[in-house]
Structure 1
Amino acid sequence: MTTSAPLPPMPPGHWLLGHLPERASDPLGLYLKSRERLGDVVRYRMGYVFVEQLTHPDHVKHVLADANARYTKGTVFDKTRPLVGNGLLTAEGDFWKRQRRLAQPAFHRERLAALGTMMTDTISETLQAWEPSVSGGRPLPVFQEMMKLTLTVAVRALFGVDVGEHTRTVGEAFTTALEVTNERIISPLPYLPWLYRLPTRKNRAFRRAVDTLDAIVRGIISQRRAKGAGAAGGDLLGMLMEASDADTGDCFDDAQLRDEVMTLLLAGHETTATSLAWTFHLLEQHPEVEARLYEEVDAALGGRVPTVADLPKLRYVGCVFEEAMRLYPPIWAIPRVPQEDDEVGGYRIPKGDIVILVPYVTHRHPDFWPEPERFDPTRFLPENSKDRPRWAYLPFGGGQRQCIGNNFAMMEAQLALAMVAQRFRLRGVPGVPVEPEPHVSLRPKGPMPMHVERREETARVRARTA
């Protein structure tokens, strides 16, 4: 596409480094203030690389849906290939379409419902392990706890509960590999595969972790293949092993199964853990929201363990989680690279630049979110959201490449929030600030320590002080 449109406006920057210093020190502030001052299309110079920021819902839709054929994911995702291979996260073109078509049936709501009991059993185990913190009054590292919980759920969802002997090993190895991968992604260095083969301490740790994961995953796949048809199991790995294309008969080979398992482990735990941690932080700051959440959970469940069938009755619980993801979207920035010149919002987007969609900013766009910094879960009640543009909210991305596990994440989050609310109230530690850290996901900085109270004890304290 040829266009004579002007380039987007650019904020002042360093003569040599451009906007790299601001990007390194406060990317959220840079992107938010640039939209406020310059509008919905902004250009940056990051050293020798040019970046266009798009934040209006119409522009997001253009890149992810209307003109998605003009855009690729770019080289930043290549930094995840040593861990996830050529799975759904990194694949492009016809190969990606084939893999998505094969995997999609495993993530239909009806099939995911079978995983509900596994989720609630895992959450119950986690909450039981919190009891010493309750009785001892010790703060709990909530972000770390959510990471452990969601990784355990992801492992059991993929492999089934009968691989308990592998759960801890997989969890430790994957955590090591993920931390190194995160550091590589946020590094300003380009993707240079030879750098990852150097015998540095972190590269060696990464290689050991991936070798451990490969041995376990390939071993489980081989065992199930050896048992023959019908032995794949009802977990996600089993569903993927049984998947086949109705038209071509294609199915996943062992190498692709391995890559999809790694991709689902990567995508299936950190983002949900991050959003749950932010949810507990926001609830602690807004007691009126917390009280309404308790009221709904108590009325809907009456003290029993929730099931997937209860989720429609836990509507406000879902709204709380969605509003937390609005303020702190787990995937806070989405990069794309135009393969030809494009025009967006009246501005030229040059071929080969990096286009960055910023949900953190789009979710605060004042044209679509009144009082955007206010935590208000009622925004997501059907009567309040029916007129909002679809592309004003994208915690799971959008278009063809919307996260395949969005239903899985929402189911897990609603069950976890409801079960925590039944038993506990989490309170922040005085004097310990909670700040966002724009990592690959929008993590809280540090472990987010919080005190854990039993809800009945909280109620008695409030009654005495009323």
Structure 2
Amino acid sequence: MLVTHAESFERGRLFDKATAAIGKGLVVSNGSVHRRQRKLLQPGFHRARIHGYMETIHRQVDAQIAGWSPGAHLSVREEMHRLTLNAVTGTLFGANTEERIAAEIGDYIDAANSWVGLHTLLSGRVFERLPIPINQAFVRKKARFNEIIAAYIESRRADDRDQGDLLSALLAAQDDETGQGMSDEQLRMEISGLFVAGSETTATALTWLFHEVGRHPEVDARLHAELDAVLGGRPVTMEDLPRLQYLQNVISETLRRHSPIWVLTRRTLRALELAGTHLPAGAEVIISPMMVHRDPRLYPEPLRFDPDRWLPERMQKIPRHAFIPFGDGKHKCIGDVFARTEMVIAVATIAARWRLVPVPGHHVREVPRAVLRPNQVLMTAVPRSSTPVS
């Protein structure tokens, strides 16, 4: 449906609601608007550009974990949320972005995810206008968020030097046919989409990754052994990415077992038959990457966390389009390579200094919201020197 019949569908109800939070940017658009915006944004995610972002991400991760104390109980979800938010903010606006600004942006992302998750389930727009706390917080924090983004755009318009960040790439982007760049309003909407779509999902994936690695000592040992052998404590480079194969497998298995984007929606543009079912025009269709990734016909023992299922000889048995953590087809996430690179840097930087050990007796469960997140993950920070890999 996401690939073969893509021209018969547009984004559905979930994305309609997201428009109120982030505007009509790439993340929610369809048709010619989507094609135009994807071409404009794509240069900001080219390999050379991502290479330039890596130092910023490493610096943000390193600064955060410097504040951890041996034996401290960490809320891993909160730590990863702050970590990815600072990394995305630094990537977009430059490494010297104030943490206060990142915190205000984070407040809005939390409010937006809660608002979109709630109103996707509610029928009609009347609930969006009720003077209830979730609506009031959303409106207030959205206004402040838009002020922050507008100020950055205005500042950069006055200084058109390429500063190596993503905003510089967006400002320089020009339409092939018209030669025009994006308006301030379009820039604001695209930046909003990158924040809302790009920080919470990666934070959630990292949280699940550390939870699973902590639960599986054999995975923990193999992961640290690879990182020690390949990196020896130095920062990750672009050339290291294909060499960290076990870490890549751990990331893939985390995205399969705990798909942050657990549900997608599509709406039929015309009547069609799909898998023997007649769908009229305008029908809302729900796709669940989570259910695909937990189908035992595709993944034997689907609830078992097994990074080795991504070894080349076993991957050959996985059907094409059966792994869709970033969606698929023309609407596949534009930042998939960036997100995986960010995860590699975060895990490698943290694991060079710390081992995260589960707190005994703490139960973790899945909470389906805009993303499929854990209720809470409490882990103890143990310095690597205290727990040598055996």
Question: In the alignment, is the contact (CA less than 8 A) between 2:16 and 2:28 conserved in 1?
Answer: yes
Partner of residue 90 from structure 1, selected from 22, 28, 31: 28
Partner of residue 415 from structure 1, selected from 345, 353, 367: 345
Question: In the alignment, is the contact (CA less than 8 A) between 2:86 and 2:102 conserved in 1?
Answer: no
Partner of residue 190 from structure 1, selected from 105, 112, 123: 123
Q: TM-score, normalised by structure 2?
A: 0.94
Residues 1:271 and 2:201 aligned together: yes
Residues 1:220 and 2:158 aligned together: no
Partner of residue 182 from structure 2, selected from 235, 252, 274: 252
Residues 1:458 and 2:387 aligned together: yes
Question: In the alignment, is the contact (CA less than 8 A) between 1:337 and 1:353 conserved in 2?
Answer: yes
> Matches of residues 48-447 of structure 1 in structure 2 within 5 Å?
63-131=1-69, 134=70, 137-164=71-98, 167-187=99-119, 188-192=121-125, 195-227=127-159, 230-446=160-376
1:174 Cα deviation from its structure 2 partner: 3.6
Provide the rounded CA distance (Å) in 1 between the counterparts of 2:39 and 2:12.
22
Question: In the alignment, is the contact (CA less than 8 A) between 1:214 and 1:258 conserved in 2?
Answer: yes
Q: 1:80 to 1:320 in 2, by over 3 A?
A: same
How many aligned positions are there? 389
Q: Which has the larger radius of gyration?
A: 1
Which amino acid in structure 2 is aligned with residue 440 of structure 1? A
Which range is displaced more, 149-158 or 199-208?
199-208
The list of structure 1 runs, each at least 4 consecutive aligned residues, that deviate by more than 6 angstroms after superposition, is none
Deviations 1:195-245 (A, max 9, x none): 434443333322221222211211111122123xx4252211110100012
Provide the rounded CA distance (Å) in 2 between the counterparts of 1:184 and 1:226.
34
Provide the rounded CA distance (Å) in 1 between the counterparts of 2:288 and 2:144.
35
Provide the rounded CA distance (Å) in 2 between the counterparts of 1:235 and 1:262.
16
SS of corresponding position for 1:140: strand
Q: 1:407 to 1:325 in 2, by over 3 A?
A: same
Cα RMSD, aligned residues only: 1.8
Q: 1:304 to 1:233 in 2, by over 3 A?
A: closer
Provide the rounded CA distance (Å) in 1 between the counterparts of 2:177 and 2:240.
37
SS of corresponding position for 1:389: coil
Unaligned runs of 5+ in 2: none
1:371 Cα deviation from its structure 2 partner: 2.0
Question: In the alignment, is the contact (CA less than 8 A) between 1:156 and 1:163 conserved in 2?
Answer: yes
Unaligned runs of 5+ in 1: 1-62
1:308 Cα deviation from its structure 2 partner: 2.6
Provide the rounded CA distance (Å) in 2 between the counterparts of 1:405 and 1:155.
14
1:180 Cα deviation from its structure 2 partner: 4.5
Q: 1:243 to 1:173 in 2, by over 3 A?
A: closer
Deviations 1:443-466 (A, max 9, x none): 0013x111111122123xx98xxx
Which amino acid in structure 1 is aligned with residue 275 of structure 2? G
1:177 Cα deviation from its structure 2 partner: 4.6
Question: In the alignment, is the contact (CA less than 8 A) between 2:116 and 2:370 conserved in 1?
Answer: no
SS of corresponding position for 1:450: strand
Question: In the alignment, is the contact (CA less than 8 A) between 2:13 and 2:284 conserved in 1?
Answer: no
Which amino acid in structure 1 is aligned with residue 190 of structure 2? E
Which amino acid in structure 2 is aligned with residue 362 of structure 1? V
Which amino acid in structure 2 is aligned with residue 103 of structure 1? L
Question: In the alignment, is the contact (CA less than 8 A) between 2:75 and 2:379 conserved in 1?
Answer: yes
